[in-house]
Structure 1
Amino acid sequence: MSTRNQLAAHLRRETFRRSRRTPSRLMSTLPRPYTFHIGASWAGKTEEQTKVKKIPFPADGLVGTWRDHTLSRHKMVKSDDAGEDFFYVQEMRNKSGVSFGVADGVGGWVDSGVDPSLFSQALMYHAHRYSRNAWAGEPEIDPTLDYEEREQIEGWEMTPYECLDLAYGGVLREKFVQAGSSTACLVTMNASSGVLRSANLGDSGFMIIRSSSILHRQRAQTHFFNCPKQLTKLPVNSSRKFSRACVDSPSEAETFRLKLRDGDIVVAYTDGLSDNVFSSEIVTICSLVARHGGSEDGQVQAIADRLVEYSRQCMKSKARVSPFEREAARQGMFFRGGKPDDVTVIVGLVRETL
């Protein structure tokens, strides 16, 4: 049995167990040593930059309803939608932690009449769906309970890699998504242990900032310059013209694990940020916003908004050297200034409460 089928079978078993009503007194009430404040901001390309014919999920369907709810989050950046990007932020079971992720629909399908946003939206929808029923770590069981009561504890532990694999399977089953591909970066943060875990495929990514220094930055995964690794769904009875499409597996995702500390800032992003804004500038923006004070929720939202706005400014400049321009030069190619793209940013601030 494949890994995906094993995970799906496990989820079905757990879903059946959850269908039996479990007394609330059996659920852990242990205090959480860590809390996480999350902000999200995004901006799609302008109409002049977009050449894609939009074929959105129906607004009354499961994915469409969730998409509209997700886009209703408060932010200061004015934009109609997230373009070909999408994201999710989901509290995990019994407040055991938080899961979030970003995805960037690959635009190479445009000439085939495929809307790249459908794949990224469906991928994030299924990642959210699996995350909300899972624990960020091992299910917390009161040691004073007897064996039968322990057996009734709901839920199961899920890593970002497992979530990515299950979410990809969900996209493959989505009839509305006929074809497409996307990068993905998924992160979970455990409220009991403070452990961050991640799974990343492609050139979306995240960084961890500690004491105004970059503690970790996820490296991009590419086949060659400007061609990221990507999860792909090929059309049924696909012809030869798709024979050169990149078809990567969730098993190729790079995973990471780290114990977080009070004050750490986690920034997840699509390449609309990393292609236009240098890492040092991201750190500077985080530090400047933090100096203004205010509530933690206000700070993380302000950081996310500032990063998106600054990225959009950099995209429009041909006089300013961008990270994308520098990387192109390393590959012997010429590109000047910023790279117009969709941009999505999620910012998390860690606080130790005990």
Structure 2
Amino acid sequence: MISGSCYLPHPDKEETGGEDAHFICREEQAIGVADGVGGWADVGVNAGLFAQELISNSVRAIQEEPKGSFDPKRVLEKAHSCTKAKGSSTACIVALTDKGLHAINLGDSGFIVVRDGSTIFRSPVQQHDFNFTYQLESGNGGDLPSSGEVFVIPVAPGDVIVAGTDGLFDNLYDNEISAAVMHAVRAGLEPQVTAQRIAALARERALDKTRLSPFAAAAQEVGFRYYGGKLDDITVVLSYITSSTSE
């Protein structure tokens, strides 16, 4: 699994670094994203610090996993229990094991698997209500890691995993991401460059005030008058599967 990433903070949050966080564990063949919930800013809390600590603790927990028995739920539980910063965030962790992709997703971050230009898997969004995502919080508030959905997905060499925060998936439809992946693969681009291109396209669409974005479509479905893209932090972590096992 060869991975690369791109992070574009919301233009208004560049000075503070935004509220997304992510990791790539090359040796353990794992990737992850977290999206700090921006509503905390109303009470003077930068939820990006919670997301960063959760991601840092996730990396440590992954490195402590027994060889050959990766358990994403256990990783997330350990990471969450060690995270003390104020705030809350989504979480998505994906690892390549000898069973295929072993993943957990909680909230509206997530991942897709692209094969031959088509999306063959998409992690479902978890939300309590429109724009009210499942989220981990320090202490007893928020949702628990046990609420995250766990997936085991067979993959093959040539498959591409695209993990991201809602800044990606609120602005690009799956078929647009798949088309961008296919174009990049055919052009022989590295994962890092592909991630940058997809993030740039998501930002371009986020700034488009007339196009029906996935977020706008979802908002209109529940009765809101919303048009165009949704400006947000955008994280893309992209992995090419070069082997079907962890060998």
Assess same fold via TM > 0.5.
Answer: yes
Alignment partner of 1:130: what SS? helix
Aligned mate of 1:84, from 8, 13, 19: 19
Listed one character per residue, the Cα deviations across residues 54-89 of structure 1 (whole Å, up to 9, x for unaligned) are 5xxxxxxxxxxxxxxxxxxxxxxxxxx4x1000011
Aligned mate of 2:186, from 280, 285, 291: 291
Aligned residues: 245
Aligned mate of 1:226, from 122, 125, 131: 131
| Offset, 1:264 | 0.6
Report the counterpart of residue 165 of structure 1 in structure 2: 77
| Offset, 1:133 | 3.1
Listed one character per residue, the Cα deviations across residues 291-333 of structure 1 (whole Å, up to 9, x for unaligned) are 112xxxx421121011100011111110211000000011011
- The answer as to 2:229 corresponding to 1:324 is no
Please list every run of 5 or more consecutive structure 2 residues that lacks an aligned counterpart in the other structure: none
- The answer as to 2:18 corresponding to 1:37 is no
Report the counterpart of residue 347 of structure 1 in structure 2: 238
Which letter does structure 1 place at the counterpart of 2:7?
W
| Structure 1 Cα separation of the partners of residues 15 and 7 of structure 2 | 20
Contact 2:6 2:235 in 1 (8 A): yes
Report the counterpart of residue 74 of structure 1 in structure 2: none
| Structure 2 Cα separation of the partners of residues 329 and 39 of structure 1 | 34
| Offset, 1:170 | 0.9
The percentage of counterpart residues that share the same residue type is: 35
Contact 1:109 1:180 in 2 (8 A): yes
Listed one character per residue, the Cα deviations across residues 147-187 of structure 1 (whole Å, up to 9, x for unaligned) are xxxxxxxxxx331111110000110xx3xx1x210000011
Alpha-carbon distance change, 53 to 115 in structure 1, aligned in 2, over 3 angstroms: farther
Alignment partner of 2:76: what SS? helix
| Offset, 1:215 | 1.0
Give the structure with higher Rg (CA).
1
| Structure 1 Cα separation of the partners of residues 10 and 15 of structure 2 | 13
Report the counterpart of residue 184 of structure 1 in structure 2: 91
Alpha-carbon distance change, 206 to 270 in structure 1, aligned in 2, over 3 angstroms: same
Report the counterpart of residue 265 of structure 1 in structure 2: 160
Alignment partner of 2:82: what SS? helix
Which letter does structure 1 place at the counterpart of 2:180?
I
Listed one character per residue, the Cα deviations across residues 189-248 of structure 1 (whole Å, up to 9, x for unaligned) are 12xx2511000100000011112111110010000000100001259xxxxxxxxxx610
Instruction: Give me the TM-score of the superposition, normalised by structure 2.
Output: 0.94
| Structure 2 Cα separation of the partners of residues 125 and 337 of structure 1 | 34
| Structure 1 Cα separation of the partners of residues 160 and 150 of structure 2 | 19
| Structure 1 Cα separation of the partners of residues 20 and 144 of structure 2 | 20
Contact 2:80 2:138 in 1 (8 A): no
Contact 2:2 2:26 in 1 (8 A): no
| Structure 2 Cα separation of the partners of residues 38 and 128 of structure 1 | 15
| Offset, 1:336 | 1.1
